[in-house]
Structure 1
Amino acid sequence: MKKLGILLIICCCSTGGLKAQKVQKLGWIWGPSVGWQYQSGNFLKASGWGLFAPNEHQYIKINAGANFTWMKSKTTVVPELGFTYYLSNRLVFPFVQAEVTPYTLTPKVGISMLSIVDLGIGYGFDMKTKEDFKPLKGLTGSVTLNIPLNFY
């Protein structure tokens, strides 16, 4: 959890000091997301997320959900918490992301189309191997569809 706190502080500090007095308050955009990720195997990802704008040109998304997989002849569900920092507000823009589960820490980079479709690549660091499960480490790739339920 210490690593997660440090990552959150870095994300917040990298937004240029969060000059709230000059930023129009847009509120949160939120909704569900579904996706696919390969990390030592195939995972179906399902989560809920919230997105806010710390300034006029960047966005931060926080999501919490679960990864579902079938490995070693059994279904496994792995909870996940993620933070995404979108670096622009154009049609297609880059992002940096960190996902943490009880077993891995996975930093990613990628591109997003209006923060609705995210394509990411990264590397998973094994923190603890789940009993009767293979280590979730190494290169990873993902595709995520974020479905906004409210707009501003």
Structure 2
Amino acid sequence: MIRQKKKKAGLLLVFVFCAWSGYAQVPSKPVDAFTLRAGYNHNRDKNTAFLGGGYLVGDYFWASVTFYGGVHYLRHDGTHRFVPEIGVDFHAVMVMAGLAVTPYSVQPKAGLSLLSIANVTAGYSIPFGREQFFKGFTLGVQFQLPVIDRR
């Protein structure tokens, strides 16, 4: 019985090593591009649409960094509001982490990334100032498409 478990563990280890070796052979494509960024965020009772631009540098698959800026559109107390945001996202394989800053809050976030093009994030908005448009947990989906490749 113990011999069978050791054999299975050994086969699993060989399988993982072979899979990782093949994964390491994936060709990478360096990127240096300006992007168009669109997204949707949900925070407490607010839904916002986001539109902006960014600068993506690194590699689509292994690791990249995106510096971005844009505007959130939301309805607050019966009025239409536009809230500017700047931020940075770090992508590594299929995970991402980032930080976004608005005039009303700071939001650290983490999530999943598909080739630095589509992100699903969860974060926490820390408000400051009198107006608290963003406060507490947030969920978001962002898409960024390269529009000008500088290579």
Please report the TM-score for the alignment, with normalisation by the length of structure 2: 0.73
What is the CA deviation profile of residues 93-141 of structure 1, one whole-angstrom value per residue up to 9, with x for unaligned ones? 00001000010000000011111111000100001232xxx54210000
Deviation at 1:39, TM superposition (A): 1.8
Aligned in 2, Cα 1:69/1:85: closer, same or farther, shift over 3 Å?
A: same
Distance 1:107 1:59 in 2: 18
Measured in 1, the distance between the counterparts of 2:139 and 2:90 equals 17
- Which residue is 1:126 aligned to? 127
Once residues 78 and 107 of structure 1 are traced to their aligned partners in structure 2, the CA distance between those partners, rounded to angstroms, is: 17
Q: Which residue of the other structure, out of 66, 75, 81, is the alignment partner of 2:71?
A: 66
Query: Equivalent residue for 2:112?
Result: 111
The aligned counterpart of 1:136 is 134
Moved over 6 A (4+): none
Residue 45 (structure 2) pairs with residue 47 (structure 1): no
Q: Which whole-Å CA distance do the structure 1 matches of 2:118 and 2:31 have between them? A: 21
Q: For 1:78 and 1:84, locate their aligned partners in 2 and report how far apart those are by CA, in whole Å.
A: 19
Q: Distance in 2 between matches of 1:31 and 1:53?
A: 13
3-state secondary structure, aligned to 2:129: coil
CA distance in 2, matches of 1:27, 1:35: 21
Structure with the higher helix share, 1 or 2: 2
Q: Counterpart of 1:99? A: 100
Larger Rg: 2
Q: What's 1:32 paired with?
A: 36
Please give the per-residue CA displacement for 1:9-28, whole angstroms capped at 9, x wherever unaligned: xxxxxxxxxxxxxxxxx462
Instruction: Kindly indicate whether the alpha-carbon contact (under 8 Å) linking 1:98 and 1:107 is maintained by their aligned counterparts in 2.
Output: yes
- Where does the alignment leave 5 or more consecutive residues of structure 2 unmatched? 1-29
Unaligned stretches of 5+ residues in structure 1? 1-25
Residues of 2 paired with 1:84 and 1:49: CA distance?
A: 10
Instruction: Give the counterpart letter for 1:46 in structure 2.
Output: L
Alpha-carbon shift at residue 81 of structure 1 (Å) = 0.3
Alpha carbons 1:129, 1:135 under 8 Å: kept: no
TM-score by length of 1: 0.72
Q: Give the distance between the partners of 1:117 and 1:135, measured in 2 at CA.
A: 25
User: What are the superposed Cα offsets for residues 28-52 of structure 1, whole Å, 9 maximum, x if unpaired?
Assistant: 2112111100123110000101111
CA distance in 1, matches of 2:141, 2:40: 5
Query: SS at 1:129's partner residue?
Result: coil
SS in 1 for 2:126: strand
Residue 63 of structure 2 aligns with an amino acid whose one-letter code is Q
